Amino acid sequence: MVKVGIIGGTGYTGSELLRLLLRHPQAEVVAITSRAEAGKSVASLFPNLRHHADLTFSDPADEETLAACDVVFSATPNGVAAAHAPKLLARGVRMIDIAADFRLRDIAVWERWYGMSHPCPELVAEAVYGLPEIHREQIRTARLVANPGCYPTAVQLGFLPVVEAGLADPGSLVASAVSGLSGAGRGAHVPMLFCETAESVRAYNVSGHRHRPEIAQGLSMMAGQALDLVFVPHVAPLIRGMHATLTLRLVRTDLDIQALYEARYRDEPFVDVLPAGAHPDTRMMRGTNGCHIALHQPLPDRLVILVAIDNLTKGASGQAIQNFNLMFGFSEELGLSDIALFP
């Protein structure tokens, strides 16, 4: 059994991570921290975990408890994982950061978008970006994995085959994506209150969202040249779920794009390319680590890519466990075989 610690277990990603790990046959959660809830039982905050989690929140300052783990997941606000990483790695503990501390390679860009000095820039180059569909082999041997954001996961998986093949006009990429409210975290914010969000959909941060440089970095790596995109995020009155509509201009019109996507994702356990003309539905991903992709060509040189994931699983905690499985030599699907809830 792999001894697992979780830093920051009271948010949505932390509780989802714990829910999944408690059912993982090779994971033993031995530590879960919360500065505000230290000393309280996990079940007192999450009654759904009664009789499943005999755990008590500890203070994250208790470094010895975390150092006794084989791997530590950090499900904390940005900047926290980077403060813990140097000491944990020095003690031989591997780490998976579900926040953004190690996603961006350019430290100046990170500091501009996240509004703080990076706590340990010396580790950024070592961190492996945890999108298994691209970096699977590097993840297997990584000490430190930067779990992708939810929007970047959906957008990159949607664009990957066509950008990788050099078939996208570099100046034509547009991503419009809708997230459930859990993507904003568990804190109380007026714009996220029920009365502010119910029966309404709105765009936000159109002029600049911190996930855009993460997406652009990934697209550039796929293409082998600098790429950027127009990225328009939206919030909708869903608890969990994410839908991305991606558009681009094709530089060639004589290829079977459906066949290209099916071939690229044929051996990927969590990415399902739906039949041509399908329309993915976020509820069909609810609680799963899956990703549904469908393709449309309304004009010969225009491609529309539709992507649906659960923002808390494939967009966060589920993908973190997929990375955990790779790091410890398990099947990628171990502990992640749930079928979506319906209706």
Catalytic positions: 150
DSSP string, 89-138: HHTT-EEEESSSTTT-S-HHHHHHHHTS--S-GGGTTTPEE--HHHHHHH
Measured CA to CA, the distance from residue 2 to residue 260 in angstroms comes to: 38
For the chain, the straight-line distance linking the first and the last C-alpha, in angstroms and rounded, comes to 35
CA dist 260 to 134, 161, 229, Å?
16, 7, 22
Count Cβ atoms within 10 A of the Cβ of residue 143 and give its class: 0-12 exposed, 13-18 middle, 19 or more buried: middle
Contact assessment for residue 5 and residue 81, using Cβ atoms and an 8 Å cutoff:
no
* Coil, helix or strand at residue 156: helix
Write the CB contacts of 27 (distance below 8 Å, at least 6 apart in sequence).
1, 2, 4, 21, 324, 335
Quick one: which H or E segment has residue 291? Answer: strand 291-299
In degrees and rounded to multiples of 5, residue 258 shows phi and psi of -60, -45
> What is the residue-wise DSSP string for 220-248?
HHHHTS----EEEEEE-S-SS-EEEEEEE
Closest to 68 measured CA to CA, from 123, 41, 29: 29
Nearest to 123 by CA among 160, 83, 174: 83
